[in-house]
Structure 1
C-alpha cells in the first residue's frame, strides 16, 4: 500500500482492517502534520487555510488510496458545524483538540428507519429543567467507535407536522453516562474507518450541549449538506484518477503474448473512454469547488457532483479491475482495494437515488 505514514504501513494497515479502525496515534500524527481542520477559521481554533487547501488534502489522500481514512469527515463535515454554530466556549474547548487529533469527531444522523430521509428520526431529546434527556440510537456512524465528540440529530418537538422541522443538534461527548457504542462493524470496504451503532439511554445533556438553536437542526443540516456532498463527490473524482493512473501503469508494464497490454486496441479504447469520463468529471468537480468557495453552490449542483462522481468511481473501479485481470482480484493490489472501497460512495452522504430525486425536484419546480 502506497500510504504515507510509515515504512511498515502494510503490516499496520492489515492490522487496522482486522480491528476495524486505525490506531488513535494515527490521528495525533495527522494533527501534528497539520492535516486536520485545515479550512476551519483560525479564530475558531482551526488552521485558517482556504477551502482549496482542504480540497487538496482530500485529493492527495485519494491519490495514495487512503480512502479508508475519515480525516475529511472529521475536519470538513463535523468541525464546520461547531465552527459555524458553536458558542465561544464550545469552539475553544473542542476545535483545538480536533485540530491536534486529540479529539475525534463524528455526526450521528442515520437510524434504522431514517437514512437519507430525516423524516424517520426516532431519537428524542426532552427538556428536564435546564437539561435535556436524550434517548434513542443511531446506526452506521463513521468515526462512531473512536469519536470523542459526536453531533447528534434528535427530535425536540413532536407536535410539528413534519418531524424535520422539530429537530435539534446536540454535542454528545465520550464518557457521558448512558452513552454507549457497539463494536466496529465488519464492512464490505473502507475497513479502517470505524463504523458502529450508538446508543443513548437517558443521557443527561446540559443546556450548553445544544449546538445552535433548538428546533433549527433541519435548517443547519440543509446549510451544511452541500459541503458534505461536494466532499464525497470530490473524493470519488480523485479516487477515479488514482485508479486510472494505476491501471495505465499496469497495462504499459504488463504483457500478453509477448506484447505490452497497451498495444491492444481494445485496451487503448477502454483507456480512452475512461480518461474522457474522468476529464468531464474533473471539469465539473472543479467548477463546483469554485462555486462553493464563492458561496454560490446550490443544493441541486451539490447533488449532481455527488451522484456523478461517485457513480464514476464505481464505473472506473469495475473497468480497472477488468483490465488488471486476475492480478486485480488480489487483496494486496491497490486497485482491488479501491474497487471495494468505492462501492459505498454512491450510498453514503445520501444515496444517489435520493440525489436524483433532489435534482429532479429542482428541475420540475
Structure 2
C-alpha cells in the first residue's frame, strides 16, 4: 500500500470495510443483479457502520474523515464485482448528499442529510435530460417561482437511484433567459405529486435502478432551494470534480481487480504443458496493462490529495475520468481474453465487469464532452472558478 497517502488507520479501515462487504453485501449481489433492486436493509447497515458519512461533519452523524477514506470505499466496492451496487452507493453519498452538505441550510441538513448519513433516506441527483445528456447548460427543465413555491416541469434521464430513492436533488432553470447563469438546485421529496419514474433496462450496472423521471407541475417549497437562486451551474461544476474523480478511482480499482483475477487464473491454468503466465506474449501484454493501470492509479491519488487539500481540481479530475475509464475498458477487454472461453461465461467475473465498465466513458459526462471541457481549459484558456 502507498504510505505516502495511506496511514495505518486507513489500512485498518480498509480491512474492516472489506470484511463488511464480504459478509453483508456479497451474499446478496447475484440476487440484486438479477432483480435490479437493492434491498433497503443494506443501506441501514452501511449507515450504522458510518460508511455513508465518511467525509461529512460529525454534527450530522458523519465521521469527518479525509478523502482517502473515500478512495478506500470506492476501491473496495469495485472488488465485489457489481458496478450497479457501487454506483447506487456513490450516487447517494457523493452526488445527492454532496449538494445537501455544501448548499443546504440547517433545516435541509437536519431533514435530509442526517437521515442520509444514517441510511434512512436515499437520494439521487437529477441533471441529465433526454434532450441534452451531458449538456448541462442546455437543460430544459424549469422551476418557475410562484409566491411561496416553485413549479417544476421537465424531465431527467439516466438517473441512478431514480426509482427507489426517497428524495431527488434536481437542477432546473429558474431564469431560462440567462442560460447557465439562470440555473438553480432543489431537494424534492419522492412522494410529491407530479413525479413519475420509469425504470430503464441497461446493458450493465444491473443491480442499480436507473430511471427517466418526469416532473409535471411539481410544487417545491421555496425553502427547498439549495444555496442561492441562479447559482446552480457553478455548484454543479464545482462538485463535478469529486464525481469525476470518484469515477476515475472506480475505473482504476476495477481494472486492478480484473488484473488480479486474470493473473490468478493464468497462474493456475495450463496450455501445452505450461502455465499461461509463463508465455512471453501473455506476460508482456499483462505488464503493459498493469503499467497503464498503475499510471492512472497514481495520478488519481495525486488529484485526490489536492482535492483533500481544498484545491480546485476540475481540470485534473476531468482528466482522471477521461483517461482512467478508457484504460479500464481496455484492461478488462484484454483480461477477458486471458480467460479465453471462460471469460465469456457468466459464471466468471469478466463478463459482468466488461458490461459494467463500459458505462465509465459515458456516465457523468461522456468522454467526448470531457475532451471539449479540457480543450476549453488548456487551449482556449477558459478559467472555471469555485462557487462563492
TM-score (norm 1): 0.95
What does the per-residue CA deviation read over 1:272-316, in whole Å, with 9 as the maximum and x for residues that have no partner? 111111111111111111111112242211111110111111010
Partner residue in 2 for 1:169: 185
Partner residue in 1 for 2:21: 4
Partner residue in 1 for 2:71: 55
Task: Work out the CA distance in 2 between the residues paired with 1:144 and 1:77.
Answer: 12
Among candidates 154, 165, 168, match of residue 150 of structure 1 = 168
Task: Work out the CA distance in 2 between the residues paired with 1:159 and 1:145.
Answer: 31
Which stretch of structure 1 is more off in the superposition, 28-37 or 199-208? 28-37
Among candidates 211, 219, 229, match of residue 234 of structure 2 = 219
What does the per-residue CA deviation read over 1:119-155, in whole Å, with 9 as the maximum and x for residues that have no partner? 3211111111111111111111001111111110111
Task: Work out the CA distance in 2 between the residues paired with 1:236 and 1:4.
Answer: 19
Question: Within the alignment, does 1:328 sit opposite 2:343 as a pair?
Answer: yes
Partner residue in 1 for 2:117: 99
Partner residue in 2 for 1:200: 215
Deviation at 1:352, TM superposition (A): 0.9
Task: Work out the CA distance in 2 between the residues paired with 1:357 and 1:141.
Answer: 23
Secondary structure of the equivalent of 1:4? helix
Partner residue in 2 for 1:357: 372
Question: Within the alignment, does 1:134 sit opposite 2:152 as a pair?
Answer: yes
2:277/2:283 contact within 8 Å kept: yes
Task: Work out the CA distance in 1 between the residues paired with 2:146 and 2:312.
Answer: 40
Deviation at 1:68, TM superposition (A): 2.1
Moved >3 Å (runs of 4+): 5-10
Partner residue in 2 for 1:41: 57
Task: Work out the CA distance in 2 between the residues paired with 1:158 and 1:180.
Answer: 23
2:26/2:80 contact within 8 Å kept: no
Question: Within the alignment, does 1:23 sit opposite 2:30 as a pair?
Answer: no
Task: Work out the CA distance in 2 between the residues paired with 1:62 and 1:7.
Answer: 15
1:45/1:91 contact within 8 Å kept: no
Task: Work out the CA distance in 1 between the residues paired with 2:349 and 2:180.
Answer: 41
Which stretch of structure 1 is more off in the superposition, 38-47 or 353-362? 38-47
2:84/2:206 contact within 8 Å kept: yes
Task: Work out the CA distance in 1 between the residues paired with 2:336 and 2:122.
Answer: 34
What does the per-residue CA deviation read over 1:307-349, in whole Å, with 9 as the maximum and x for residues that have no partner? 0111111010100011110101111211221111100011111
Deviation at 1:9, TM superposition (A): 4.5
2:82/2:205 contact within 8 Å kept: no
Q: Number of residue pairs matched? A: 360
Q: Gapped runs of 5+ residues in structure 1?
A: none
What does the per-residue CA deviation read over 1:255-277, in whole Å, with 9 as the maximum and x for residues that have no partner? 11232111111111111111111
What does the per-residue CA deviation read over 1:67-88, in whole Å, with 9 as the maximum and x for residues that have no partner? 2222112112221211111110
Partner residue in 1 for 2:385: none
Task: Work out the CA distance in 2 between the residues paired with 1:33 and 1:65.
Answer: 21
What does the per-residue CA deviation read over 1:159-197, in whole Å, with 9 as the maximum and x for residues that have no partner? 22xx21111001111111111211x22110010011011
Q: Gapped runs of 5+ residues in structure 2?
A: 1-18, 382-388
Which stretch of structure 1 is more off in the superposition, 43-52 or 233-242? 43-52
Among candidates 83, 93, 114, match of residue 75 of structure 1 = 93
Deviation at 1:250, TM superposition (A): 0.5
What does the per-residue CA deviation read over 1:62-108, in whole Å, with 9 as the maximum and x for residues that have no partner? 12324222211211222121111111010011112111211111000
Which stretch of structure 1 is more off in the superposition, 39-48 or 289-298? 39-48
Partner residue in 2 for 1:302: 317
Secondary structure of the equivalent of 2:212? strand
RMSD over aligned Cα atoms: 1.7
Deviation at 1:34, TM superposition (A): 2.0
Task: Work out the CA distance in 2 between the residues paired with 1:176 and 1:96.
Answer: 20
